[in-house]
Amino acid sequence: IIADKSYNTVMIIGAYAMSKYLNMMDKKTVNLFADGAGCMILKSSEKGDSGFLASKLITKGEYHDFMGIYAGGTNTVISEEVIREKKHLLTITKKFPSELNPQTWSEIVKDLVKKASINLEDVKLFLFTQININSIWETMDMLNLPRDRAQTSMHYYGYTGSACIPISFEDALKQKKIERGDIIFMIGSGGGFSVAGTAFRY
């Protein structure tokens, strides 16, 4: 919408179907990952009283081999051995540092505040990746903000990947936590490791 004025309405869809890639004997993954889908519709406007404020992307490639599906593509084709050893399913090979998300999320939040020329206290609600509630609480504590300013939904739906932020946004709307004119931060992270954040005025 910003780059090409010929587009004035865009639907952004986040869909996640990880259950078919789970090893049902692996307690590290089977109790965490879920399926879900959500979407948001963005429309261009000349009013300037709502919409996009800022964005930020951080990648940390040193974590590229911490989790993944390591067979089934051209590098390691499907075979009886692959299936027997369950290499075609999601595997967490190394433990991510517990401080990784909170530290990176906090960094993104501070950068978004600066880019959007606002104060941290102006942000009405934070929508983080719903992977670990303790990571969310730790982030809010690091920012010296009340924990209830962060929406949580993983206790209802599990971790739904790219769908978790639109799902949490929908929950926040239903709970009347967001009103027109409020500033919200949406920050998502994924294995690899990459984190993206955006600031919007609703």
pLDDT digits (tens, 9 = 90+) for 179-188: 999 999 999 9
CATH 3.40.47.10 fits 50-66+95-201, yes or no: yes
The per-residue pLDDT of the chain, averaged, comes to 94
CA atoms within 13 A on the CB side of 154: 18
Q: What is the mean pLDDT of residues 115-126?
A: 97
pLDDT at 115 over 80: yes
pLDDT at 108 over 70: yes
> What was the pLDDT predicted at 1?
66
pLDDT at 198 over 70: yes
Q: What is the mean pLDDT of residues 123-138?
A: 97
> What was the pLDDT predicted at 191?
87
Domain-wise residue ranges, the chain: 50-66+95-201
Closest CA to 200 of 56, 50, 1: 50
Q: What is the mean pLDDT of residues 160-169?
A: 96
Closest CA to 129 of 92, 98, 102: 102
From residue 167, how far is each of 26, 81, 92, 122 by CA, in Å?
Answer: 26, 38, 25, 23
pLDDT digits (tens, 9 = 90+) for 5-25: 888 899 999 999 999 999 999
Share of the chain above pLDDT 70, in %: 99
> What was the pLDDT predicted at 25?
93
Peptide bond into 66 cis (omega under 30): no
Phi-psi group of 71: left, alpha or beta (phi > 0 → left; psi -120 to 50 → alpha; rest → beta): beta
pLDDT digits (tens, 9 = 90+) for 29-85: 998 999 999 999 998 888 777 899 999 999 999 999 999 999 998 889 999 999 999
> What was the pLDDT predicted at 76?
92
The pTM for the full model equals: 0.91
